[in-house]
Amino acid sequence: MAIVAIGGHSRNVGKTSVVAGLIAKLPAYNWTAFKLTQFGHGRCSLNGKPCQCETADHAWAITEEKDRAGKSDSSRFLVAGAKHAFWVRTAQGKLEKAMPGIRRRLDEAENAILESNSIMKFIQPDVYISVVDPANEDFKSSAYQFLGRADAIILHRSNGHEAKWPGISLDTLPDRPVFLVEPPEYVSTEVVEFVERRLEAARLTRVP
């Protein structure tokens, strides 16, 4: 099974668009897609709404997406051509609670693509790509933690914006390919070819 993970340094940098783009442009993989969301204190993992019920049985929830209207991120995965799509919600820092459920669904998948940085704590994907936008000054700790493990960077063209991330520089990753994108196009032919090459190389290493 091929596994691809797509992360990013903040919200609204195009992670979902990259996942959907790869699903659409690599349909032969019959993807099972996962959207992972972590909620902070006081947010219910069952529906993302404010609550005061953060108990053990509310630490996580996994829902299979059935709506193909394209209004939610996980619905966009189905519209793009995913065979199955799941929305995983966990309390902040509690992703490990959901891992048994995630692993069961991974075992049932032909191939999987996951939108998450934190999933890197628990699995070793064949490809991990980080999406970066210099115009966005936020840089999540999970993105920084796993930046060094990124196989490639998808970088928004700066259009005059200079990255303002204290202590963080992409120059520390000189051997990683960087693919420049201009939204709304997030997945270029070069990105697709790179992912295909990595997945094929991983497949060959798994052959007995």
pLDDT 10s digits, 9-32: 988 899 999 999 999 999 999 999
- DSSP, collapsed to helix, strand or coil, labels residue 55 as coil
Q: What is the crossing angle of helices 15-25 and 189-206, to 10°?
A: 70
Confidence of residue 42 (pLDDT cuts 50, 70, 90): low
Q: Is the pLDDT of residue 150 over 90?
A: yes
Report the share of the chain in percent with pLDDT over 70. 88
Nearest to 47 by CA among 36, 33, 63: 63
Q: What is the crossing angle of helices 73-80 and 15-25, to 10°?
A: 20
Q: How many domains does the chain have?
A: 1
Query: Is 71 or 109 the better-scoring residue by pLDDT?
Result: 109
What's the pTM value of the predicted model, to 2 decimals? 0.89
Provide mean pLDDT across the span 111-130: 96
Query: What is the distance between the alpha carbons of residues 6 and 4, in angstroms, rounded to a whole number?
Result: 7
pLDDT for 208: 66
Q: Residue 76 sits in which domain range?
A: 3-206
Structure tokens at 103: 């692993």
Query: Is 21 or 135 the better-scoring residue by pLDDT?
Result: 21
- DSSP, collapsed to helix, strand or coil, labels residue 144 as helix
pLDDT for 48: 60
What CATH number is attached to the domain comprising 63? 3.40.50
Provide mean pLDDT across the span 61-72: 88
Q: Is the pLDDT of residue 140 over 90?
A: no
